[in-house]
Amino acid sequence: MVIDKDQVLPILKKAEKGLRITTQEAGRLFYCDDLLVLGKVANAIARQKNGKVVSYVVDRNINYTNICVGNCHFCAFSRKPDSSDAYLLTYEQIEQKTNELVNLGGTQVLLQGGLHPDLPLSWYTQLIALMKKKFPRVIFHAFSPPEILHLAKLSGLGPLGVIKALKEAGWESMPGGGAEILSEKVRLKMGKTKISTKEWLDIMEHCHQQGIGTTATMMFGHVETRENRVEHLDCIRSLQDRTGGFRAFIPWIFQPGNNLLGERVVHKASAVDYLQTLAISRIFLDNVRNIQGSWVTMGEKIGQLSLFFGANDLGSTMLEENVVAAAGCVNHMNEKDMIRLINDAGFVPTKRDTFYSYQKSDSVN
């Protein structure tokens, strides 16, 4: 089913006025045959919320271990404990990587790893406490709902107990990993996953209630339908209504390389599909200020184009990234490239921190 723009214009005018659209209306937008009209409205909403500023953060992804008992079919990064290339970083190695980031002016470490079967909760709390003592100005945007659930099972404390223990150690922020598509029907089709929709949402709500802000993500372009994407967006918007704890929403396309799920995907999602979903995310998520464009999975040019389809943030310069790279998607960008990319699109490049507080703007000479 394809519908022309005249059939969705009332929905778009409603959204542009700041009025909330329904899930049924969002579903209709996914069948609109005019990508540019969606982008125009999404861009207008992004500018209403954030002006001409496009933000980015200088950070490093540190994946402390690739050992994982999750066996998710969409992951190319994880390894079994007895694999020849399995690893676990030491505290000293994590400290060295963080120090390299600080020397480059970085302010954030995205710290995530596999579900290691033998690491106790104390390994994580001691790591956070040590890193915050050594790098008090660095925010460790760390772990994910699957990691919290795994630690809850190992420790017997439950997710809320784990969250409180990590917070006491100095933990301040959590990324939105493990969401994939928040629909149990889809998760069953995807193969084994580490966490259910309800568990993911419950852990996010616990974090928000404890003052731990988070981001939300969506990995699409595999076995889900357009209606499943709307279901996912509705889960995010509904929780945000209750807690206000999501700082940003970050959608990206599934990378089919080197994983079991990728073998079942006949047609990889296109750039058009990505931009359409990004635009609808901006239109639907009226209570989330920041929408992040994904240059990491889409490349520099589509990342730049995302700024005209609802994105007001381009995420990280990523001194290091391992998970997406394991699926065969490798894109690189330094801070100078990021600034030029934003400038060339006609926006104001502004460095931010994890909490989306703007720092001094930079420019390219």
Average per-residue pLDDT in the chain? 89
Indicate whether 222 belongs to any domain. yes
pLDDT given for residue 188 in this prediction? 85
pLDDT given for residue 192 in this prediction? 63
What percent of the chain has a predicted confidence (pLDDT) above 70? Answer: 88
Cα(312)–Cα(345) distance, integer angstroms: 12
List, for residues 314-350, the tens digit of each pLDDT value: 998 877 645 444 444 445 688 899 999 999 999 999 9
The structure's pTM equals 0.91
Indicate whether 288 belongs to any domain. yes
User: Based on the structure, what is the number of domains in the chain?
Assistant: 1
List, for residues 286-301, the tens digit of each pLDDT value: 999 999 998 888 889 9
Indicate whether 8 belongs to any domain. no
Indicate whether 60 belongs to any domain. yes
List, for residues 36-87, the tens digit of each pLDDT value: 999 999 999 999 999 999 999 999 999 999 888 876 655 666 778 778 888 9
pLDDT given for residue 257 in this prediction? 58
Cα(133)–Cα(253) distance, integer angstroms: 37
- CATH number for the domain harbouring residue 158: 3.20.20.70
Helix ranges (DSSP H) in the chain: 9-16, 23-29, 35-50, 91-103, 121-134, 145-155, 158-169, 184-190, 197-209, 226-243, 271-284, 295-298, 300-305, 323-326, 335-344
pLDDT at 363 over 50: no
Question: Residue 131: which domain range?
Answer: 22-354
pLDDT given for residue 320 in this prediction? 60
List, for residues 175-186, the tens digit of each pLDDT value: 999 999 999 999
pLDDT at 199 over 50: yes
Cα(130)–Cα(124) distance, integer angstroms: 10
